[in-house]
Amino acid sequence: MTETPLTIREVRARALDLPLSRPVQTAAGDIATAPVVLIDVVTREGVVGHGYLRTYTPVALPGLARLVYDIGVFLAGESAAPHSVERKLQGHFRLLGLEGLTGMAMAGIDMALWDARARAAGQPLITLLGGRPGPVPAYVTLPSMDAAGAAADARQAVTAGFHALKVKVGRGDLAADLETIRAIRAAVGDEVALMVDYNQSLTVRDALERVQALDAEGLHWIEEPTRADDDAGHAKIAAAAQTAIQLGESWWGSAAMARSISAGACDHAMLDAARIGGVTGWLRATSLAVRAKVPVSSHAYPELSAHLMRVTPTAHLLEYADQLNPILRDRVRIVDGHAVFAEIPGTGVEWDEERIASLS
């Protein structure tokens, strides 16, 4: 099929701080809202591609939305081909740098460009990328960290169809971590895969002590035990632990991924579409994972990630998140432990404008 060439007319960016039904507890503090930038790439041909970016803190929301809009002004009149746009923006921002909000803005626009491209072709993104639609093994992150709350959340998640769960730990000492892990095990049994996420909260010394104690708990992986950019520290931790060490959601592009893998900092990789470089960056990162024989899981962005995981040769688990469900017309569903996405043109991101208007 010959693709329709598209030209960028404008890029729209809307800041929205979505209320969560329940706060998400982390070692760094509670997250009470989901601050997101909604992105629309409008083409001269009438095709509109959608994407979004999560900022975690409302403080960054106005600045990121403005940056996305300003980049759109810079791109007006340019080809909407994702690789062409990536080259132009990498050249333009080379002196400033390609990480932080700049990298996120570029990735968000890339996501929307791929959505537009798939819509123009009348295909789901997975088909455009040469893959086949289908279910993706998935897990959910529990909102509670304390033992009683996490156990209740785990029972609810298993009832909803999940076979794999992740719980955030690290707010207290090792005893608190073990109490939460064992409460979940008591609630849902050993057949459910269980992962823990420290959200970078430990020193290397503390992490070395904890991961060796956690080896007896039968965990599927231990995520980001220490500072994400400390590859040497994570390499020490990975060498000391029998349980797999998971890194990746904080990698800014495939170069950071390559450094971590080369250092022996992780056993598993986790790709975040907004940090790895959107769809274009993700496809580049999967080549690294294949060469290193590293299992790849996703972080956030389940609508887009469900497509990308289907074309990732070493795909492992998709992280399901429902924070944006209230403003989406089509949603990823969980069926028998797998994420199932609608086979419609694009990435599956379609705004519920009435709901957005009521929240704005």
Q: In the chain, where do the E strands start and end?
A: 8-26, 29-43, 48-54, 136-141, 164-168, 193-197, 221-223, 245-247, 268-272, 296-299, 318-320, 333-335, 338-340
C-alpha to C-alpha distance for 318 and 273, rounded to whole angstroms: 12
Options 50, 163, 166, 168, the catalytic residue: 168
163 is an active site residue: no
Q: What are phi and psi of 8, to 5 degrees?
A: -70, 125
**173: its two tokens:** 């000492």
In single-letter form, the type of residue at position 9 comes to R
Options 220, 234, 236, 299, the catalytic residue: 299
- Give the up-direction half-sphere exposure of residue 89: CA atoms within 13 A in the CB hemisphere: 31
**204: its two tokens:** 């290397």
Pairing relation of β-strands 245-247 and 221-223? parallel
C-alpha to C-alpha distance for 286 and 251, rounded to whole angstroms: 13
C-alpha to C-alpha distance for 206 and 223, rounded to whole angstroms: 14
**82: its two tokens:** 């994702």
CB neighbour list of residue 101: distance below 8 Å, 6 or more residues apart: 60, 63, 64, 67
299 is an active site residue: yes
From the number of C-beta atoms within 10 Å of its C-beta (0-12, 13-18, 19+), residue 293 rates as: exposed
Q: Please list the active-site residues.
A: 168, 299
